Amino acid sequence: MATLRYRARFRGEMKIKRRFRQVPATFKNVSIVEAPWLWLPGCPPLNPVLANESVNLIYNTLRAICGRIEGYISALPPPYQLTRPLLARAASTEARTPARAPSFSVCWSITSPLPEIINATTGKLENGHPSLLCKQSMFARWQYLVRRLPLLPQDPSGPPLPPLPKNLDYLLYNEAKALCTTYQVAKETLTSAFERAQLGRWIKKPIEQDQFQCEILEADPALLFA
């Protein structure tokens, strides 16, 4: 059991100092038995605000993943559904050694014999080619398939699919995603549930980020589906 001491700095940052090093790192009930003082500049000392409180980490994890939204989300279009993951306590955990983030990342796929080394600055391989896991490559695979196979609805009872544009060469990535009406309905249901639960609005990236055309339409299918 560890005793925590709270110090509030001028900028409003809350720092937590460990008085002892034996801090439970697994999913357990952690009782905070003492928070000696909490002080803000210009204010009188306050009584401990977390004294005798119990924090259940498994409950908090489940609540963060799906618990807060359960009572507000309903009528998701098939095949989408709210799933409750199974969580278990860990008997022991490995200590994590913080280190500076490297300038590269490694991605692998079960269909590829070798991993990909990606430049973390550009998001591309060292030779300048796009990764198999990037949006550009996924868009190229979708383009390859949709030109040869008809679009099928995810669920027969779902909304009908809009017709494909005549010229797919100029189709934007965000326009292709909008063609999946069932997914769009499920996403809108989720974001509306967050607002009803007063959990805030879903943070969206700038729409310009997905307004791009496929630049590797002529890529070798053997490489796209490697």
The yes-or-no verdict on residue 80 having pLDDT over 80 is yes
pLDDT digit string, tens, across residues 14-41: 443 444 344 344 433 333 333 333 334 4
217-224: which pairs have CB atoms within 8 A and are 24 or more residues apart? 217/140, 217/143, 217/169, 219/140, 221/144, 224/132, 224/137, 224/140, 224/141, 224/144
The yes-or-no verdict on residue 211 having pLDDT over 80 is yes
Contact 18, 2 (CB under 8 A): yes
pLDDT digit string, tens, across residues 110-144: 877 889 999 988 889 988 888 988 999 999 999 99
- Separation between Cα atoms, residue 198 and residue 194, nearest integer Å: 6
Calculate the average pLDDT of the chain: 75
The full set of domain ranges for the chain reads 4-65, 132-224
For residue 144, what are its two tokens? Answer: 């390859």
The yes-or-no verdict on residue 2 having pLDDT over 60 is no
For residue 225, what are its two tokens? Answer: 């589906």
- Separation between Cα atoms, residue 129 and residue 125, nearest integer Å: 5
Q: State what percent of residues in the chain have pLDDT above 70.
A: 73
- Separation between Cα atoms, residue 215 and residue 137, nearest integer Å: 9
The yes-or-no verdict on residue 66 having pLDDT over 90 is no
Considering only CA atoms, give the Rg of the chain.
25
The yes-or-no verdict on residue 206 having pLDDT over 50 is yes
Tell me the pTM: 0.65
Confidence category of residue 64, pLDDT binned at 50, 70, 90: confident
